[in-house]
Amino acid sequence: MNTYRNYDPMVWLQHTWRNRLQSLFLLSLMAAYLGLLGWLLWGPQGLIILLGVGVFGMLFHPTLSPKLIMRMYGARPIQEEQAPVLFQLIGELARRAEIETRPSLYYIPSRMLNAFTVGTPRQSAIAITDGLLRHLETREVVGVLAHEISHIRNNDLWVMGLADLFSRATSLLSTLGQLLLLFSLPLLLFSHVRLNWLAMLLLVFAPTLSTLTQMALSRTRETVADLHAVQLTGDPQGLAQALEKIERIQGGWLERVFMPGRRLPEPSLLRSHPQTEARIKQLMKLNPRQPEWIGAHGQHQAELDPHLKKPVQRHPRWHINGLWY
């Protein structure tokens, strides 16, 4: 893999191991919440059963077909002749990331500025919205694609899928425990049974703690993907410019709709991604430059087939499949 040689490799190594250990700790913490709930509800046997379920989920966690997920979003595949430059660049990124199969590209007719990845390193797909392609230069799109390919290489989709499994199971068990407590209230009121209030608090707040941990894990994986994207492109400024544009254009549109004339500060604990300003600041420490391999296309928008050039007029909206785009 070609790495970004203008940055100290020891610093890369420290970042990598620190984030791996942090991810392992956060996943273990989520498994601990699940195990504690099992202990509270069914004793030692419940703990053993839920730990077994967790191990089974780690080994055999199912993944949906990328084609199925893209169909849910109304995405359509982009053929190589429709965007030759993008295919050339994503092929080079996949080669540098040492991914077995080049990700498929999909186009989503939405004004939102977004890109996301689904699948595994063996079978993956990257979706790009119309808004992203229209507002970003090719150099910036390459930074976004490198970020998404880094998620594929690091198997982040599996990690976050497992975290989501733990979080949903914790919420389900917490709800079950609270219902059992509610039905047992008459017995508790007219008997001398004492409640373990610490256990009750855990029963109530475990889903919230699990969700906060899941968000912290997501922020960690996003930070890793940013750093690995720079390793793939050698161009931290391209990704930094993309993040700034997405925050400014999309954030401004959302604020005009939902929060006209003001910004509401969002606590860091409630974010699934690190703050954009912090991400840009970290990227700009990496000696910005434009690499030669992106070529003359870097300062222009990606060349697209005429069928993809017609501007999307409709605003993003909620769809019956539960997705918003």
281: its two tokens: 């600041």
116: its two tokens: 């996301």
**What number of other Cβ atoms are within 10 A of residue 318's Cβ?**
9
Catalytic residue among 92, 137, 140, 148: 148
274: its two tokens: 């690190």
Terminal CA-CA length for the chain: 35
255 counts as catalytic: no
Please tell me the distance from the alpha carbon of residue 280 to that of residue 296, in angstroms, as a whole number. Answer: 24
* Helix, strand, coil percentages in the chain from 3-state DSSP, rounded to 5: 65, 5, 30
CB 141 within 8 A of CB 161: no
Please tell me the distance from the alpha carbon of residue 295 to that of residue 306, in angstroms, as a whole number. Answer: 23
79: its two tokens: 């053929």
With residue 70 as reference, give the H or E element that holds it: helix 66-72
CB 105 within 8 A of CB 86: yes
Active site residues: 148
